[in-house]
Amino acid sequence: MSLKGKKILVGITGGIAAYKIPSLIRLLIKSGAEVQVVTTPSALHFVTPLVLSTLSNKPVFSKFSDDDTGQWNSHVALANWADLMLFAPLTANTLAKMAHGQADNLLTAVYLSAKCPVFVAPAMDLDMYAHPTTKQNLQALQSFGNHVIPATSGFLASGLEGLGRMEEPENIVKFLEEYFLKKKTLANKRVLISAGPTYEAIDPVRFIGNHSSGKMGLALAQTAAEMGAEVQLVLGPNHLTITHPNIKVTHVTSASEMYDAVHQDFANSQIAIMAAAVADFTPKNMAKHKIKKGGQTFSLELEATKDILASLGKIKKDDQILVGFAMETQNEIENAQKKLHKKNLDFIVLNSLNDKNAGFKHNTNKISILDKDGRIIHYELKSKNEVAEDIFAHILQLKK
Ligand code: CTP
């Protein structure tokens, strides 16, 4: 009964694997969950509302309002009710709508209103699953903090064989059970995270910045919040949206603002992870007015910024966990080890710009963890959400 008392909204879309969802609902209920089914109109070609409502013991909704009574099926109330949403099977069509914020039916509107964790179990023919658009859309969902339960390989309705089958209901339920089990491990902890770039003003128009997207830091914040932590995210300029109610965001622009915001919260945090790409230098004097172009060359005097992480390393107490990142392009391990010791960290997460699809702007990352006991763990290329889970799994291993 690991799902005891959990309110799970099951979103069914119009794919043949929908015939397996009645068994999935039974398993969820057996595990103690309360289930509310919402379907797209086309899902009802594959499975009947009577079966779904009988098994879930609740009316099934597939339209914005009831045809007979006119009663509104509020997508907002449905979204607020859920502790978790599961889209299974998820077709390529609904996936594309979710990735782009379209809300043309009740289910996609419920998704847009969701503040709870969202899981998707895609199912489609192998060529659709392999299409770059589908891959991009799944990555987009992951970048929003949604969890993808990957399709498996086997016989498909088309008669072809390959990757595209929805994961079996038993395994989907296991996925959700594991999620809730893991969720509580950071309960009552305060986690401080820095993320994104910093912008150092040259004049009112220009700045010195870097390519950081903030996605790794956001994945860390999202993961910590889902594991039950209260998260304080100090975020440099970017376009990311943060929806989890346990994440408090302080927006900053410059390295010096980030320094102040981080130091304000550090004493109250049990775990601090500095994932921001902080500028090492800032213009000594910001020009009051736009600098006009003059001669053929232009020099700018820069001065060093304060190292936020190194400063935290100096004031850190024994029961606090401090984690840094190292972005390197050469002598990666050696440089990361130097930073680990110099900044007095529990461990450092190394990502190399030499690894394909890792680092700035990507939705994936490839890391190594180097800890103060000399251990080095290398990880595969993974989504930034999975990388964040690996980092917290390592934090939980530390004896504090
Ligand atoms: N960092 C920080 N404040 C700074 C510079 C870096 O808090 N002013 C943190 C980053 O958030 C990261 C770690 O220090 O967690 C390492 O950052 P990185 O840019 O890799 O290294 P630097 O210490 O800046 O050294 P270098 O630029 O020489 O590689």
pLDDT in tens, 290-309: 999 888 999 999 999 999 99
What pLDDT is stored for residue 400 in this prediction? 64
353 CA from centroid of ligand 1 (Å): 15
Q: Where in the chain is the domain with CATH 3.40.50.10300?
A: 190-399
* pTM for this model (two decimals): 0.70
In contact, 235 and 214? CB cutoff 8 Å: yes
Query: What topology does CATH give the domain 7-183?
Result: Rossmann fold (3.40.50)
Q: Name the closest-CA residue to atom 9, ligand 1.
A: 309
Q: Where in the chain is the domain with CATH 3.40.50.1950?
A: 7-183
What pLDDT is stored for residue 158 in this prediction? 86
Parallel, antiparallel or unpaired: strands 302-304 and 281-283: antiparallel
What pLDDT is stored for residue 363 in this prediction? 78
> Which ligand 1 atom lies nearest to the CA of residue 262?
7
Scanning 194-352, the segments in alpha helix (DSSP H) are 215-226, 255-266, 308-315, 332-342
What pLDDT is stored for residue 36 in this prediction? 98
State which residues of the chain have pLDDT below 50. Answer: none
What pLDDT is stored for residue 310 in this prediction? 98
pLDDT per residue as tens digits for the range 68-108: 999 999 999 999 999 999 999 999 999 999 999 999 999 99
- Would you call the peptide bond into 150 cis, given omega within 30 degrees of 0 as the criterion? no
pLDDT per residue as tens digits for the range 315-373: 999 999 999 999 888 899 999 999 999 999 999 999 877 777 776 767 788 999 999 98
What pLDDT is stored for residue 114 in this prediction? 94
> Which ligand 1 atom lies nearest to the CA of residue 311?
7
In contact, 78 and 36? CB cutoff 8 Å: yes
Catalytic amino acids? 210
Q: Which of 199, 233, 278 to mutate to test the pocket of ligand 1 (most atoms within 8 A of CB)?
A: 278
Question: How far is it, in rounded angstroms, from Cα 95 to Cα 100?
Answer: 9
Residues in the ligand 1 pocket, defined by CB under 6 Å: 194, 255, 274, 276, 278, 280, 305, 307-309, 324-327, 339
367 CA from centroid of ligand 1 (Å): 16
Strand order of the sheet with strand 7-12?
Answer: 34-39, 7-12, 84-90, 118-122, 147-148
Q: Determine the angle formed by the axes of helices 132-143 and 92-100, rounding to 10 degrees.
A: 50
What pLDDT is stored for residue 353 in this prediction? 73
Question: How far is it, in rounded angstroms, from Cα 192 to Cα 270?
Answer: 8
Question: How far is it, in rounded angstroms, from Cα 189 to Cα 331?
Answer: 35
Q: Which of 210, 220, 280 to mutate to test the pocket of ligand 1 (most atoms within 8 A of CB)?
A: 280
**CATH of the domain spanning 190-399:** 3.40.50.10300
DSSP state of 166: P
278 CA from centroid of ligand 1 (Å): 6
What pLDDT is stored for residue 274 in this prediction? 98
371 CA from centroid of ligand 1 (Å): 17
The phi and psi torsions of 173 (rounded to 5 degrees) equal: -65, -40
Q: What's the distance, CA 351 to chain centroid?
A: 18
What pLDDT is stored for residue 35 in this prediction? 98
